[in-house]
Amino acid sequence: MVMYLPIEKDLVIEDAEVVHNSSAAGEDAEIKIRASRAERASGGADRGPGTTSISSAMDAAPSSARGAARRPVDPEQAIVLLRTLPLLQQLPEDSLPKIAAVLKTVHYGPGEPIVQINHEGEGLYIIWKGEVKVASPPRENATGHVVSTMRSGDYFGLATPGPARELYRADVIAITEVTCLLLTHDYADMLSGASIWNWPKQSVEGEQALLERILLLEKVEDNVFRTNLPQLYRNPRKNPNIFGGQSIAQALHAACRTVKPGYAVHSLHSYFLRTGKEDVETFYEVQRTRDGMSFATRHVQALQLGRVTFVLYASFKRPEDSQAYEHNTNPVPSTPNPEEVAMDEVVYDTFLTDPRLPLSVKQKYAGIKLPVSPLEIRLCDAGDKFQRVKMQPRQRVWFKTRGKLSDDPIVHWCALAYASDMHLLETSLRCHPDYLRSRMQILSLDHSMWFHRPFKADDWLLYEMEAPWAGDARGLCFGRIYQNGELVVTVSQEGMIRKIEDKMQKAARL
C-alpha cells in the first residue's frame, strides 16, 4: 500500500498551466532558445547544465543565484515529492527511497534548453524548482510557439530499458533557474515490469504464450466449439466489445479442428454482423461445406445468446510441389529493423509523459494500468498525436507474439489472423487528423486473408498497410505481411469510420 504523507511547507507543487497565445508572432509565443552559455561568458566559464547525485556534495556555483540553485536536494524531501506523483503511486512504498537514491539533480539557467526536438533525452525529468516553457516546432511560414508552462511537481520524459526510444517533439526550455530530478535510462527497470509502465517481462521457458491461450476452444459436440476461458486481454479503453481479431482467429481455429490433416488454410472471408461482448460466452458452429480431393471449405458462425455475431468462410488446400507459375510483384518495403523501433507500450507511455500534456491529464491517466498485450508491436510510422498533421494513409508495423508458440501450424495461422486486425482500419484515418479530437465509431465490417507461404507468428513479421479509399463513413484497407523478405499473407478489410456529430447521440448500432 502506498502511504501519502503531508508535503513539507517549503516544497511548493503547482499544476501545469496551459498558455494560450493569441498571436504566434508575439514575443512570448516565439521559440527563442537563448545562448545562455554565451550570455554567462562574461561572468564565468561555459559550464553547461550541472549534474550530480542527490546525496552527493555539489561544486560551488559561479554566482550567488547559480549557487542557490545548486544546493543538493535532501533525499527525504525528494521522497515526499515522489509520493505526490500519480505516476509513481502504483509502486511499493519501499521502492521510493531506492529511486530517490539514484536520482540525479540537474540545473539549468534561464533560456537554457533542457530537452530539444528530435533528441532522446536522458530519462524521466521531475521539476523540483523553477519554471519551464514547452515550445512546439515552427511550422511552414510561421515561428514556433509556447504550448504550455510547467512548474514544481510536474514531470516529463520517459526512462526506457531498450535502445529504441521515442524522440521529443517539442523543446523544453528553462524560464527561470530550474532544478530537475532525473531518473536516467539506466534505472528504467525500477519503473517497468508490473509497476507503472507495464512492459511485459520475458516469458518463462515452457510457459504457454498468452495468445495461444486466447485461441483455446472447448469441443461441445461434433462441429460445435465454445470459448472456455475468460477474456484474457481486455481493451484498455474499457470497451466491452470483443476484439475483432479474436473472433477471426477463434473461428478459424474451429474450422481447422474439422479439417483432415494435410490441408492448409489458403484463404478466409468474414463478416462482422453484431458486436460481440466480452462477458458473454461465444459458441462457434462449423458447417462442413465441402471436402474435395484438393480443397476443403468450412462455414463458421459465432453465436452469443443464440444470435449470430460473426460469420467466416475458410478454404483449405493440399500443398503442391509445382512451381511452374510463381511470381511476386510486391517486394518487402524499406523499413528499419524491429530492434530500432520503439515498442507500442513505449509510444503510449511517451505520450502520457510528453511535456506538452497538462499535468491534470497526466494525473488522470497515470493510474490506469494497461493489460499485457499478447502481441509485441512496434510502429514504424507512429506520428505525433499532438499535431493535427495530415499523413499518408499508409503505415508499417513490426509484430510477433509474446512468448513462443507450439509447433502446430494451425496455432501460427490463427495467431496471425488475430494480429491482422491490429491497426489496420486506423490507416484510413491517418490523412484525417481531426479524428483524434472527435467522437468516432470505428468498427470492422469484413475481413479477408490470403495465405501464400509458411511463416512463424512468434518471429518478427512486417505488416505494410494502406488505405486507398474512404467515404460514406467507410474505409477500405489493404495489408501485406512479410517475413524474411517474402510476402506470406495478404489482407483486406472494410470498416466503419463514422464521426458522431451530436455530443448527446449514442454510438449507433450496425
Distance between CA atoms of residues 93 and 112, nearest Å: 35
pLDDT in tens, 349-375: 888 889 988 888 888 887 676 777 899
Instruction: Check whether 208 has a pLDDT greater than 60.
Output: yes
Q: Collapse the DSSP code of 437 into the 3-class scheme (helix H, G, I; strand E, B; otherwise coil) and give the result.
A: helix
Q: What angle do CA 396, 401, 405 make, to 5 degrees?
A: 145
Tell me, rounded to whole angstroms, the distance of Cα 367 from its chain centroid. 16
Distance between CA atoms of residues 223 and 412, nearest Å: 21
The pLDDT value given to residue 344: 87
pLDDT in tens, 399-443: 999 999 999 999 999 999 999 999 999 999 999 888 767 788 899
The pLDDT value given to residue 115: 95
Distance between CA atoms of residues 142 and 23, nearest Å: 11
Instruction: Check whether 257 has a pLDDT greater than 90.
Output: yes
- Residue 427 has phi, psi (to 5 degrees) of -60, -35
pLDDT in tens, 132-176: 999 987 654 444 567 789 999 999 998 887 776 778 889 999 999
Instruction: Check whether 452 has a pLDDT greater than 80.
Output: yes
* Overall size of the chain counted in residues: 510
Range picked from 225-234, 373-382, 437-446, 485-494 for highest mean pLDDT: 485-494
Instruction: Check whether 66 has a pLDDT greater than 80.
Output: no
Average pLDDT over residues 94-107: 91
Calculate the dihedral angle through the C-alpha atoms of 325, 329, 333, 334, rounding to the nearest 10 degrees. Answer: 100
Q: 433 with 459: CB under 8 angstroms?
A: no
Q: Give the pairing type, strands 178-184 and 264-272.
A: unpaired
Range picked from 7-21, 122-136, 411-425, 495-509 for highest mean pLDDT: 411-425
The pLDDT value given to residue 350: 82
In angstroms and rounded to an integer, the radius of gyration of the C-alpha atoms of the chain is 27
Distance between CA atoms of residues 508 and 469, nearest Å: 23
What amino acid positions are annotated as catalytic residues? 421, 444, 493
Instruction: Check whether 243 has a pLDDT greater than 80.
Output: yes
Helices first, then strands: H and E counts in the chain: 9, 22
Average pLDDT over residues 233-243: 66
Distance between CA atoms of residues 10 and 312, nearest Å: 65
The pLDDT value given to residue 372: 79
The pLDDT value given to residue 232: 54
Instruction: Set out the domains of the chain in order of their start, with CATH numbers.
Output: 17-190 (2.60.120.10), 210-319+382-499 (2.40.160.210)
The pLDDT value given to residue 183: 93
Distance between CA atoms of residues 428 and 411, nearest Å: 29
Q: Collapse the DSSP code of 435 into the 3-class scheme (helix H, G, I; strand E, B; otherwise coil) and give the result.
A: helix
Q: What is the pTM of this model?
A: 0.76
* Cell numbers placing 136: 512546439
The pLDDT value given to residue 349: 80
Instruction: Check whether 58 has a pLDDT greater than 50.
Output: no
If one compares 25 and 103, the residue with the highest pLDDT of the two is 103
If one compares 486 and 502, the residue with the highest pLDDT of the two is 486
pLDDT in tens, 288-333: 999 999 999 999 999 999 999 999 999 999 999 877 788 989 889 9
In sequence order, what DSSP letters do the residues of 470-488 get, joined into one string?
Answer: EETTEEEEEEEEEETTEEE
Q: Which range is least confidently modeled, 1-5, 57-61, 348-352, 357-361?
A: 1-5
Distance between CA atoms of residues 300 and 223, nearest Å: 9
Per-residue pLDDT band at 233 (split at 50, 70, 90): low
* Cell numbers placing 279: 462477458
Instruction: Check whether 228 has a pLDDT greater than 80.
Output: no
| Contact residues for 198 (Cβ-Cβ < 8 A; gap 6+) | 345, 369, 370, 371, 372
Per-residue pLDDT band at 95 (split at 50, 70, 90): confident
* Cell numbers placing 439: 467522437
Q: Which range is least confidently modeled, 175-184, 371-380, 455-464?
A: 371-380
The pLDDT value given to residue 493: 99
Distance between CA atoms of residues 53 and 78, nearest Å: 12
Average pLDDT, the chain: 80
- Residue 150 has phi, psi (to 5 degrees) of -130, 150
The pLDDT value given to residue 24: 32
